[in-house]
Structure 1
Amino acid sequence: MHRKLPAMTILIADDDIDDRMFLERALRQNGYTQEIQFVEDGEELMEYLHRIGRYNELNAPWPNLLILDLNMPRKNGFQALEEIKEDPKLRRLPVVVMTTSSADEDVVKTYNLGVNSFVTKPFNFNRLVEMIGALKTYWMDTVKLPQ
């Protein structure tokens, strides 16, 4: 007997169109068939999370997991992460930083701001598929997320 999976939405905040495409392909190759939403910078991310403008509740399903790039225009990932974790309505949202940086100071800063995981984007698509598989197994199949 198969159990029905709860509806799940992944929100990806990344300004690079190629990275967004590769992340979506890697998720799909790992069997993720549910909703994926994209925003291009920290300002748009906060509009999405606060349901501002085009992101009303009908157009923007609530994310169960946020994959956040650090290097984005207008509002970077550090600023967005800080806003999310300071807001009582948003702070339970699990955030995985996925960035090209592997600098110790970025790792420390994001964990001090409350990130749930920090991973460095691989430069090889096959490695990205493996990494996304591990993230999917952990965040979607193992842990219980708040609804």
Structure 2
Amino acid sequence: MYNALKPVLVVEDNAEDFTALNRAFRKHALQNPVLRCEDGDQALEYLQGYGQAAGWPQVLPAIVLLDLNLPGTDGRAVLEMVKNDPRLRSIPIIVFSTSSSASDIDTCYQLGANSYLTKTIQYGAMEEKIGVTIKYWLRAAELPQALQV
């Protein structure tokens, strides 16, 4: 299964949220390597330059979990740039944000988000959302050929 070899890119500036995500990944036996970018600029640097910089993986991620409210280039801008790049647009981007605003949700889908999940302060609910996300995107979904190894 090729998805098991590809990294999951988490674009998250909050260390506590990233730690909680990692706990949920371990609980659901995620086999993929997890990469973290702490801001939108770093995420774009990786995605637009994958395979070119020392230390970055040579492949694109299987999925991206993207926070909206990031320092520097925010998540909306990252989403728009990735979905407008022919080399990157087929990467599934799951927005994972504290915002439950209908406007933010609508904007993200208009920009090309593949899914939108609202972060909850209850760890159990967040863990359940992450489990469903892993099962669907990394174990059930068939990704486009362009993303396969």
Same fold at TM > 0.5 = yes
Task: Say whether the 8 Å CA contact 2:93–2:114 is kept in structure 1.
Answer: yes
Report SS of the residue matched to 2:125.
Answer: helix
Structural mapping, 1:105-116, within 5 Å = 105-116=103-114
| Aligned with 1:122 (options 91, 110, 120) | 120
More helix by share: 2
State the alpha-carbon separation in 1 of the partners of residues 74 and 104 from structure 2: 12
| Aligned with 2:131 (options 130, 133, 141) | 133
Q: Is the counterpart of residue 22 in structure 1 residue 30 in structure 2?
A: no
* Residue-pair matches, total: 144
Aligned-residue identity in percent: 33
TM-score normalised by L of structure 1: 0.91
Q: Is the counterpart of residue 45 in structure 1 residue 69 in structure 2?
A: no
Q: Is the counterpart of residue 59 in structure 1 residue 56 in structure 2?
A: yes
Which runs of at least 4 in structure 1 moved beyond 4 Å after TM superposition? Answer: 3-6
Task: Say whether the 8 Å CA contact 2:4–2:31 is kept in structure 1.
Answer: no
Structural mapping, 1:78-97, within 5 Å = 78-97=76-95
Q: CA RMSD in A?
A: 1.9
Question: Residues 75-134 of structure 1: CA distance to partner in whole angstroms, max 9, x if unpaired?
Answer: 000000000011101101100000000000000000000000001001111111111111
State the alpha-carbon separation in 2 of the partners of residues 44 and 83 from structure 1: 13
Q: 1:91 to 1:5 in 2, by over 3 A?
A: closer
Bigger mean CA offset, 75-84 vs 5-14: 5-14
TM-score normalised by L of structure 2: 0.89
Question: Residues 16-66 of structure 1: CA distance to partner in whole angstroms, max 9, x if unpaired?
Answer: 0111111111011101122000001110000011227x9627532420100
